[in-house]
Chain A
Amino acid sequence: MILFNEKLVRKRNRAERRFRAYGILSLLAAASVLLFLVYTIVSSGYSAFFRTTLLMDVQLNAAHMDITSPYTRDVLMQGRYTSLVKTSLYARFPGVSERRERRALSKLLSPGAELVVRDYVINHPESIGATVALEVPLSSDFDQLYKEHLPRTGEHIRFSEVQLRWFDQLQEEGRLNYRFNTQFLFGGDSRYPELAGIGGAVVGSFYALSVCFLLAFPLGIAAATYLEEFSGNTRLTRIIEANINNLAAVPSVIFGLLGLAIFLNVFGLPRSTPLVGGFVLSLMTLPTIIIATRASIRSVSPGIRQAALGMGASPVQVVFHHVLPAAMPGTLTGTIIGLAQALGETAPLLMIGMVAFIANVPATPLDASAALPVQIFLWAESAERGFVEKTSAAMMVIMAFLILMNILAVIVRSKTQAKVE
């Protein structure tokens, strides 16, 4: 007979199930927070990829624009488009003539409207004098109204009765359109949510990461190679190792202080630039790359080494011709993961002044610029309702980049691995 203490067995099995349930619950909790986070971001952010435009007939009257022939680019750039846009808008609502009402009416449109007109005129100087139908952006509040993010009624209502009437009228006439917002993806930052874009920040991040890669990748491989292949177990080696391990765990804000005190104040490198951002990020990425590279160098089979040495290759040749190529998959994967971490770093970039408001897309790594995570921080701190969706959308973009980089890491690993084998 197999012995049972029924009561005890039941109790122990209950404890077993409970313990197991804790594990499942923990994983479920983590998963549901993740889902909730992603849901919050996507649900509030997807609308930022679209914006509301008004289809407006604009009479390109040269006198209104205050320009005279010849219509060179410089002349056209100097033109006065604000009044042209306003005139065109007032023309839609002939009944509105009082100054105050007209001002309320002009609040429907974004300050970006005149830029649309200007760009059109510059690209089509031949159409001056004609009347064209242009799609110009609505101001942020009305854009949000169209997206039903702002209430029409209630305590903190941002619209007057007449403004709502005009808005409804335009909507009924089918003049309001919901368009994909290319300016958001490619434009620079702006004080106006409907005009703000992450293009500048993306380029800034790209420059910073490029600098980071160019510095950290060779240095990381070199340092790892030295530690794995050429250093004995000396005191220096142990100090270097301890240093690398500790650097990997130093809070990122400390690296920001380093960047501020050393790169900016001692070396006098330009503030707010992706160059300095890249320097700081490379110092942070270095330990990741070194650790990953060392691990993959260590996993290269000693057979390769001995065979090459036996063929008369020098130790340096063995490392550069045989060991490092074989260790490449791990190195690249580690590098990409390090760069992905660097892409999300915010605090050190704040320290070196990459928080300035910069409306231009930077042309070189030496131009002042924002970076993606910093842009998110800036927008998150803005009060306007219109920036909430921009913030979420920017987070969608940064996470998309992170996912892409991680997929890249997986592909690189499997591809190069297949080659090595």
Chain B
Amino acid sequence: MSSVMTAETTEASEKVINQVQDGPIVVRPEKGVDIKMSAEGVSVFYGDKQALDDISIDIHSKQITALIGPSGCGKSTFLRCLNRMNDVVGGCRINGRITMDGEDIYAPRVDVASLRGQVGMVFQKPNPFPKSIFDNVAYGPRIHGYAQHRDEIEEIVVRSLSKASLFEEVKDRLHDPATGLSGGQQQRLCIARAIAVNPEVLLMDEPCSALDPIATARIEDLMWELKEKFTIIIVTHSMQQASRVSQRTGFFHMGVLAEVGTTEQIFQNPVDNRTRDYITGRFG
């Protein structure tokens, strides 16, 4: 179904470190790495206010990319560009190009609803619909017409809940209201809901900030498992979390992407001074 597009161009396959002062430092992928999504020169404006300035980043397939940075730095804004949730906000304007598998997701022929079916999203605060657990997970497959019969849907629901490692906990009360679950369970339900439509990319906007450490650990374990099947981009303000779960990390600062690279490199040997200051806790 999905054609895998490898970045074969010599330019992209070379490992280039652009070290222009104040400009973004982009670590280009090594040869053979799949690039799932890619942003080129993305700027976002809310009315007259510029929220993002000239962001370019590649998102590697089947990896976890963490976006970190102080609050208000634009990392969540950037995340919402990837499934066009910024369209919902009035007065939001986006320049630049964002592609998924080489295809411009802002092209006129793209159906936004279908795009969001393939780029799922999990929010900061768990937001289960005021329906039953079952109906929450079945919501996506139903609207996207993935399954017609009840047993097909049931199968998808069970599979998604299992993948989100929630099934065992809720299998006896699938038709109880989802709002009765604990916060951590709700967030895993939201993940199950998002993966029920079998997306290729999963965006997670600080998914653990409203959860306690134990629930957080469970979600992090889950992400580790999910990365086998999905490309995950996670926005987090917790540097520990970024270093624990991600393979690649991008550091946002005041609307610009200051540095991006492997998580190891960013945390152990940051090139940019701002990154170093942030990671060592000088500000944040």
Binding site for B on A (CB under 8 A): 1-5, 8-9, 12-13
Contact = CB atoms under 8 A, between A and B. Distances in A.
A1 B111 contact: no
A9 B117 CA distance: 12
B239 interface: no
A155 to B, nearest CB: 62
Nearest to B143: A12
B113 A12 contact: yes
24 contacts: A1-B2, A1-B101, A1-B103, A2-B100, A2-B101, A2-B105, A2-B110, A2-B111, A2-B114, A3-B1, A3-B2, A3-B114, A3-B117, A3-B118, A5-B114, A5-B144, A5-B145, A8-B144, A8-B145, A9-B111, A9-B114, A12-B113, A12-B143, A13-B111
B240 interface: no
A114 to B, nearest CB: 69
Interface in B1-32: 1-3
A8 B111 CA distance: 11
Contacts of B3: 1
B126 to A, nearest CB: 27
Interface string B232-256: 0000000000000000000000000
Contact of A4 (B101, B105, B114): B114
Nearest to B101: A1
Interface string B110-137: 1101110110000000000000000000
Interface in B132-154: 143-145
Contacts of A9: 111, 113-114
A59 to B, nearest CB: 78
Contacts of B143: 12
A8 B117 CA distance: 13
A5 B2 CA distance: 13
B110 to A, nearest CB: 6
A2 B144 contact: no
Contacts of B101: 1-2
A3 B113 CA distance: 10
Interface string B89-121: 000000000001101010000110111011000
Contacts of B118: 2-3
Nearest to A9: B111
Interface in B69-107: 100-101, 103, 105
Contact of B103 (A2, A5, A8, A12): A2
Which of B110, B111, B143 neighbours the largest number of chain A CB atoms within 10 Å of its CB? Answer: B111
A412 B145 CA distance: 55
Contacts of A5: 114, 144-145
A286 B159 CA distance: 60
A3 B105 CA distance: 11
Contacts of A4: 111, 114
Nearest to A11: B145
Contacts of B2: 1, 3
A204 B182 CA distance: 64
A394 to B, nearest CB: 45
Given A1-B2, A2-B118, A4-B114, 12 more contacts: A1-B103, A2-B101, A2-B103, A2-B110, A2-B111, A3-B1, A3-B2, A3-B118, A5-B145, A8-B144, A9-B113, A9-B114
A19 to B, nearest CB: 14
Contacts of B145: 5, 8
B50 to A, nearest CB: 28
A107 to B, nearest CB: 68
Contacts of B111: 2, 4, 9, 13
